[in-house]
């Protein structure tokens, strides 16, 4: 069963990275009908909603090393499963970036130097935000993302609505933070594109691992403290991973 969980995480993270980053690389600035910041934000949220319903009952649909680590910190996920989940997620993100590159490079004028949806700060931030702002944004956004996940999947939360709350939460996170870092809150999503861009993207990738992981741990611990029943049976997107 474990192998199927890891495969589900790889497939789910593939979809998040491919469809989310693909919306930015292929559709965001398309002449006259580009989807823009709002469309990219919605695309990332929809990847989580669709995969949560598709694989939530198999793997818990983490799709994100920061989520896996945060759920472990919050007492919702076994520590001995963290590393294989993270490996599967990163592999899914890399394969997604490879497929996206093969598609996007077929267009005239394609240029990796434009960023390929990589995350960055300073000169590589969409709004030229500095390192401090980028770090704080990624920590806070990931912390709140974990807080939403922990609450929406609690046993006393309305059943069946967790994927919507989590997907809308990710959409809102992107609406706020795309101008700052191009929005990571997910080391696997950041790693795939950075490997293809190389140079500055790989040089700044450290932040998009460290900050989301810190935020994930903070969010998991905060909700565990807040909840009166931190060990309550959970529902929705993390039920499979709690067993």
* pLDDT for the residue 229: 61
* pLDDT for the residue 99: 98
Residue spans of the domains in the chain: they are 2-242
pLDDT tens string, the chain, 243 residues long: the values are: 689 999 999 999 999 999 999 999 999 988 878 899 999 999 999 999 999 999 999 999 999 999 999 999 999 999 999 999 999 999 999 999 999 999 999 999 899 988 999 999 999 999 999 999 999 999 999 999 999 999 999 888 888 899 999 999 999 999 999 999 999 999 999 999 999 999 999 999 999 999 999 999 999 999 999 986 645 444 433 433 333
* pLDDT for the residue 149: 96
Long-range CB pairs of 78-87 (<8 Å, 24+ gap) are: 78/241, 81/2, 81/5, 81/241, 84/2, 84/6, 85/5, 85/6, 85/9, 85/59, 86/188, 87/6
SS3 sequence of 56-72: HHHHCCCCCHHHHHHHH
CATH class, range 2-242:
mainly alpha
pTM over cut 0.85: yes
Q: What is the DSSP letter of 160?
A: T
């Amino acid at each position: 069963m474990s192998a199927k969980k890891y495969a589900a995480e790889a497939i789910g993270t593939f979809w998040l990275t491919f469809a989310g980053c693909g919306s930015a690389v292929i559709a965001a600035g398309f002449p006259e009908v580009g989807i823009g910041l709002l469309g990219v934000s919605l695309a990332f949220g929809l990847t989580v909603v669709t995969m949560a319903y598709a694989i939530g009952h198999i793997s818990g649909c983490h799709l994100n090393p920061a989520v896996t680590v945060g759920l472990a910190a919050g007492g919702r996920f076994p520590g001995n499963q963290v590393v294989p989940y993270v490996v599967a997620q990163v592999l899914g993100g890399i394969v997604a970036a490879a497929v996206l590159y093969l598609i996007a490079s077929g267009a005239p004028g394609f240029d990796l130097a434009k960023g390929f949806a990589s995350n960055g700060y300073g000169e590589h931030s969409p709004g030229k935000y500095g390192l401090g702002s980028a770090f704080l944004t990624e920590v806070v956004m990931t912390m709140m993302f974990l807080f939403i996940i922990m609450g929406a999947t609690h046993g006393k939360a309305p059943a069946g609505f967790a994927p919507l709350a989590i997907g809308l939460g990710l959409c809102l996170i992107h609406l706020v933070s795309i101008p700052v870092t191009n929005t990571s809150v997910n080391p696997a999503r950041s790693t795939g594109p950075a490997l293809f861009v190389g140079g500055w993207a790989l040089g700044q990738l450290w932040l998009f691992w460290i900050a989301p992981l810190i935020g994930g741990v903070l969010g998991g611990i905060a909700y565990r403290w807040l909840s009166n029943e931190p060990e309550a049976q959970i529902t929705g997107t993390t039920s499979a991973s709690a067993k």
